[in-house]
Amino acid sequence: MLWNIAFRTLLADRGKLIAGLIGVIFSVVLVNIQGGLFLGLIGKASLLVDRSGADIWVGHRGMHNVDFPHAIPEQWMYRIRSIPGVKEVQPLRIYFSEMSLPGGDFEGVMVVGVSEGTRLGRAYEVVEGSPDALSCVDGVIVDQCDDDKLSFPAVGETREIGGKRVRVSAKCYGVLSFLVTPYVFTSYNRAVALADQDASMASYFLVSVDNGVSSEAVCQEIRRRLGEVTAVPASQYAAASVHFWMTRTGIGLSFGAATFLGLLVGLVMVAQTLYAMVLDRISEFATLKAIGSSEREIILLLVAQSSLVAGVGIGIGIVSTVVIRELFSSPRAAIQIPIGLYLASAALVFTICLAASALPYLRVRRVDPHSVLQG
Amino acid sequence: MAVETSLGMPSKSTFVVVNPETPIRSAGMALVAKQIRKSYVIGGERRNVLDGVDFFAASQECVFLSGPSGSGKSTLLSIMGCLLECDSGEVVIAGVRVDQLTVSERTRVRRDQIGFVFQRYQLIRGLSAEDNVAVPLTLQGVSLAEARERAGTLLKRVGLGLHRKQLPTAMSPGQCQRVALARAVITSPPLLLADEPTAALDGRSGAEVMELLKELSSSTRSATVVVTHDPRITKYADRVCEIENGSFK
């Protein structure tokens, strides 16, 4: 019956019900979209690592961010290859440079040189142009999402990187840097040539291990043999890259604060709505007390109402979030919402709604059932 | 204390004031109140609202409490209804002393032993007539389906069989008060307390409500105490007790 009373009294006051629902929906959408945008943005910090296909990343000692490598001797690669359990090792070269634009301007780019004939380090999928683009003469691959930054280079168009000619041989989609600098993929050897740097140095070694071999054990062996390097499983380096931006920029705090404020607004809306509903029906609560409702039943009634508002609001909020994500998520502003975030936001908002019911309860608790006889 | 000597006589002229020292026997009584005292502090000054009042109501008896505003009749009703604690005195409902019970025990007494009819009906706006009547049963643990069935039957009996699904906002004041009556008697409580049940009704509706109140209380064998100012309904009283300045005339 409590559910019946809770449900029907809520429905009887649709205006306030809608206001309460808007509060909950707002909170759910805000938490998920803010969280999804955060995850989408911070995910770019480790995109090269996540999509590298490597089990282990090896770089200079103290490496902390995939975009800021320090050069290591390429010949160390052979010492890694000799470690039991290592299936494949490939060098990777990453550095900042400039690409010429048709109007004579330049745009900063991050050149990523990957070995040909392997999947290791290929964080991209070609969506336009030749799938074998790296083998084209002077071939480079740019991302469609960076078209505006690079003045819309067409496939086949020639540009210059570091004063040397390159040809856009293909385009990929959605491989964006956490920095504003576009990635330009090319072959390892071409990257070395374009850089005009010491050809004997690499940025990283990407390692894949045999099935059943522990990446951690191989990392230990690499560190033992090459004292000057850091060797970590890919997932660990991805986390380190994310952590770098989180701590250096305070982005987590900014998003967290915005999300907290959104939650607070939602909480206030729900609490205020429930409180207003209770104030409107204070004589009904007095009547319920007079005819024998216990304090516990009154609390359950309020909790039931909060739960109903929360449950319906969370449901609508999650559906709205999915729609918003489908409509507005793009590689540039990716909204990545894992199922865990949906569940966590639902649990959080539900808990907050229950807490919000404490405010009207404080008012109802003071209602004297005797008041129904006092007009 | 005002105790009428001949039950069933409808005139105020028939009551007799008996000696306050006369003991009231509680056997067979639905309600017995002895030496009830209650005072409030108003404007820094303590004022006695009830000054050693004795009262009783037998099963199936309908007793009216009347008196001017501020005379203490509503306070007495609240104390007898376990809605308010007295400063001193005893209240016995259906053989159980209730004045010394805890808050939760008094809540249980109200739930199980007392039916309330309020001046403004006090129906829950969001609930249909049927669900309003079913509330006291469900508070006693009866399932919603069974409570609704019994409420529907009772609503038919009070002439609202076709209105069982209607909300209070769609009903006339007289119909609302009939729903409130049904809610008060649905659990067949030994005691019915009505606070100005006809004050918000026209003469015809008021008479209908009182007829119904008498009929229902008779069928449930409840004692009924009615606080009223309404002279039009005095004829429905078995006894009328007039209270003034905290004591019976």
Question: For A101-153, how does the pLDDT look when each residue is reduced to its tens digit (9 = 90+)?
Answer: 998 899 999 999 999 888 898 888 899 998 888 888 899 999 999 999 999 99
**Structure-token pair, residue A234:** 């890919």
Instruction: For residue A374, list chain B residues with Cβ-Cβ distance below 8 A.
Output: 74
The answer to whether the CB atoms of B120 and A375 lie below 8 A apart is: yes
Q: Which residues of chain A neighbour B69 with C-beta distances below 8 Å? A: none
A284 inside 8 A of chain B by CB: yes
B123-140 tens-digit pLDDT: 998 899 999 999 999 999
Output the pLDDT for position A375.
Answer: 56
d(CA A112, CA A92): 7
- Name the band, by pLDDT with cuts 50, 70 and 90, for residue A227: confident
A366 in reach of chain B (CB within 8 A) = no
Closest CA–CA distance from residue B101 to any residue of chain A (Å): 14
Average pLDDT, chain B: 85
Cβ contact, residue pair A287, B107, below 8 Å: no
Mean pLDDT, range B112-122, rounded to an integer: 91
DSSP conformational letter for A226: -
CB proximity A300 to B under 8 Å: no
Distance CA B227, CA B249 (A): 15
Residue A327 CB: number of other CB atoms within 10 A? 9
User: Which residues in B lie closer than 8 A to residue A369 (C-beta atoms)?
Assistant: 83, 110
Q: What is the pLDDT of residues A46-92, one digit of tens each?
A: 999 999 999 999 999 989 889 999 999 999 999 999 999 999 999 99
Q: Of A24-33, A300-309, B177-186, where does the model show the most confidence?
A: B177-186
> Interface pTM (ipTM) of the complex?
0.84
